A and B are shown apart, each in its own frame.
Chain A
């Protein structure tokens, strides 16, 4: 029991970046030679070749017609068989919506708990993950024997660049039956055509729960207009219908990396941070000095955004004259 399985995920026909990061995290847990990158699907050849060019150890294709489209029942059944055969020490996943959908049940099938959304791995090993919406960090440890299931957060581990040798690829065919799959997934769709491309914005003024009411959004809009910036928001604002969904930044919205990101009244839960922490300069305005948004901010102002944002608009106007 020294092997490490890393379940890779594709998005839009390519291996998602977060999967390479999961592979990098796996290298903190053991020798590269013991790492097997696992690709799952109905036709995995191309996908496996892409992984083999960069993976440090081996690549294993878990292939069956019933593995497309994704269903939790299908993935759990296939990966359970693979894990039983391989008896790894660790199974590492990228922390995606898909992984959240099946990995906790897969771990439970082995009497284990997925240590989810891990941001760092230190000796023992201890797995760091956020608590209390990012206000605290917890160090988790696996107890007893048995397989350790871990999922890693986007952006927490630096993805390795290409490996010099191409990894060997093996095929594993699970035994599956159509009756095992109880859910019938439809085709993915978008609610409406995306008309706002926050991804290419140079400056963004983003607003969160701290704004308190819909009427107050106007002060954010004024600051954005004055700066020549786009308006964006954290999830609760779009959930409330105060700004359209297409202006949402975070794991369920858009990922942005502008030159300037002003976060007003956003506490900085991980779901928001993953969507904006790549910004070149982050300004945080929040009444709570312990808000996690300040951990990623270059400049911070503690105070009431209802006072600071209008003052900022005036100061920008003055500076532009």
Chain B
């Protein structure tokens, strides 16, 4: 089975983010980046399928030069080869524009299965996989925790709301968006990291993919979120803060 995993490099969730001077995006200069966590689970699911059924795992990512470090990480974890769509204008592409780029690159590969995370940790639109499926004319299922291959295609476990699940049968080729937590992520081994350096990393220029559509939605401004409540911030040493909080819970909230 040939599986393409679309991964995104996103700002590391542990690192503070600042709004840039134009107020249209975040300041990227001093930012650290990491692999989008749901995409890491998509990569893991692809590798589990390959471990069981053989085949090839190809990672695909779009973005500027910095994205190559996340691609290398995926190769170190065991992906067989990679495709990097080089583009510096991610912030100006909407979800459709982004999906068009990915779909164009996927079309060249003719895979059996396309996996990606259910959403990104930065924009959180949760749409890329679904739109890619639409553009490729493939069946799609979202919020998938587990994939089993069978004679007529794949059976997937889909998460519904409030603790419910559902199994769905799909023919191949298909596109799935993977939910976090369905599998345990493997770490890159030292050998894996060494091998990653010799694996094929194909670069495609976004301009060569023949995708040229103007965005239909734009991110006009980025703001700090509005407070929904007035929060009493309690300061002091841990012991002082704890004592003050308990006092408030007693006298103001009446729960102790």
Contact = CB atoms under 8 A, between A and B. Distances in A.
Contacts of A115: 217
A105 B168 contact: no
Contacts of B131: 104-105, 108
Contacts of B80: none
A96 B143 CA distance: 12
Contacts of B221: 138-139
A19 interface: no
B241 A136 contact: no
Interface in B160-205: 160-171, 179-181
A75 B63 CA distance: 33
Interface residues of A, number: 100
A178 interface: no
Interface in A111-133: 111-117, 126, 129-133
A159 interface: no
Interface residues of B, number: 81
A190 B163 contact: yes
B214 interface: yes
Contacts of A296: 228-229
Given A143-B218, A311-B238, A113 B160 contact: no
A104 B238 contact: no
A97 B162 CA distance: 10
A165 B225 CA distance: 38
A297 B130 CA distance: 35
Contacts, number: 266
B216 interface: yes
B231 A300 contact: yes
A279 B214 CA distance: 43
A320 interface: yes
A102 B232 CA distance: 42
Interface in B40-58: none
A252 to B, nearest CB: 6
B160 A143 contact: no
B123 A131 contact: yes
A117 B242 contact: no
A253 B231 contact: no
Nearest to A308: B238
A297 B108 CA distance: 50
Nearest to A110: B216
Interface string A235-267: 110111000011010011111000110000001
B126 interface: yes
A28 B162 CA distance: 29
A228 to B, nearest CB: 10
Interface of A: 11, 72-73, 96-97, 100-102, 104-105, 107-109, 111-117, 126, 129-144, 146, 182-191, 194, 202-203, 227, 235-236, 238-240, 245-246, 248, 251-255, 259-260, 267, 270, 277, 280-284, 288, 290, 292, 294-304, 307-308, 310-312, 314-316, 318-320
Given A295-B227, A295-B231, 11 more contacts: A108-B131, A114-B127, A117-B126, A136-B222, A139-B223, A184-B168, A190-B163, A235-B181, A260-B255, A299-B248, A301-B233
Interface of B: 11, 13, 16-17, 19, 26, 94-96, 99, 118, 121-127, 130-131, 133-135, 139-143, 158-171, 179-181, 213-229, 231-235, 238-239, 241-243, 245-250, 253, 255-256
